[in-house]
């Protein structure tokens, strides 16, 4: 091997090592609030409700990072004619795997809170607003996810006033993004996209423009919600590769292949 090629190899190795060091050096940690609002109204039904809470529990237990640069604080609000939080599911800072497991177990336990009722959006957003504001975690970002299978009932309990108090464009607002799962055929998807999503209108095309826009996933039923919420958590925690990144990786691999073929010919 020539001195020049040896130098080039050394430079390449040094560059790769340097990139590895940079990649493994954590940035300063940020605390990110994730608020999940779950519709437990009568139209959901107890069986579907169990599917929904167990799906969210599983997604959180497997997908919320506990070893990355950011720490996530989770709050769950459930609603029908009124809204509620349950012990162990509100303002939980997921700092390690055991805390995450306990949170997931508490979310699974929400199967017991199902009692049916109407679909009071205002109660849901009001309680989530109060819950998130009461946090002492010092979050730098706050993302809210809203899952419902119906239109607001009563119609004037549409959550618009409460939603306005949460978003950054309103006085005192702090929420950076509101995204939605519309479950089944009973939702007014267009209204949700244009009035509840933030920043609006909702993006409903995957890959989603998060967090610049709220994003909407329409699902046929509770079982489809399970896949949707797992995908959504991947998006909001940065675990879904951007298409541009994939394209760059593909170009890089093509370049490496071309270089190898050229070397073989030489």
In the DSSP assignment, the letter for residue 168 is: T
Q: Angle formed by the axes of helices 46-63 and 97-108, to 10°?
A: 180
d(CA 72, CA 109): 21
Q: What's the pTM?
A: 0.81
Q: What is the pLDDT of residue 171?
A: 84
d(CA 132, CA 142): 8
Tell me the β-bridge partners of 77. Answer: 37
Domains of the chain: 31-236 (3.40.50.410)
pLDDT per position as a tens digit, 2-49: 433 443 343 333 343 333 333 333 446 799 999 999 999 999 999 999
Phi and psi at 97, nearest 5°, equal -65, -35
Q: Closest Cα partner for 237 from 72, 55, 82?
A: 72
Residues 149/153/155/160 CA torsion (nearest 10 deg): -60
pLDDT per position as a tens digit, 90-99: 999 999 999 9
Q: Closest Cα partner for 122 from 195, 199, 184, 219?
A: 195
d(CA 257, CA 159): 55
Tell me: cis bond preceding 199? Omega within 30 of 0 counts.
Answer: yes
Q: Are 180 and 196 in contact (CB under 8 A)?
A: yes
């Amino acid at each position: 091997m020539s001195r020049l090629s040896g130098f080039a190899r050394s430079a390449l190795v040094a560059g790769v090592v340097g990139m590895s060091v940079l990649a493994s050096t954590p940035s300063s940690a940020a605390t990110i609030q994730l608020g999940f609002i779950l519709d437990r109204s009568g139209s959901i039904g107890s069986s579907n409700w169990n599917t929904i809470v167990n799906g969210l529990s599983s997604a959180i237990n497997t997908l919320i990072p506990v070893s990355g640069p950011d720490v996530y604080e989770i709050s769950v609000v459930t609603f029908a004619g009124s809204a509620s939080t349950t012990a162990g599911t509100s303002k939980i800072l997921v700092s390690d795997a055991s805390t995450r497991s306990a949170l997931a177990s508490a979310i699974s336990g929400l199967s017991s809170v199902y009692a049916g009722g109407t679909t009071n959006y205002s109660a849901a957003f009001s309680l989530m607003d109060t819950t998130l504001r009461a946090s002492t975690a010092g979050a730098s970002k706050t993302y809210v996810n809203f899952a419902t299978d119906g239109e607001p009932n009563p119609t004037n309990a549409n959550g618009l006033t409460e939603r306005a108090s949460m978003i950054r464009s309103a006085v005192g607002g702090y929420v950076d993004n509101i995204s939605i799962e519309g479950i089944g055929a009973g939702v007014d998807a267009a209204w949700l996209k244009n009035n509840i999503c933030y920043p609006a209108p909702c993006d409903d095309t995957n890959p989603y423009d998060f967090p610049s826009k709220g994003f909407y996933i329409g699902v046929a039923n509770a079982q489809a919600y399970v896949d949707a919420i797992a995908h959504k958590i991947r998006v909001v925690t940065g675990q879904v590769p951007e298409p541009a990144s994939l394209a760059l990786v593909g170009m890089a691999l093509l370049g490496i292949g071309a270089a190898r073929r050229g070397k073989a010919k030489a």
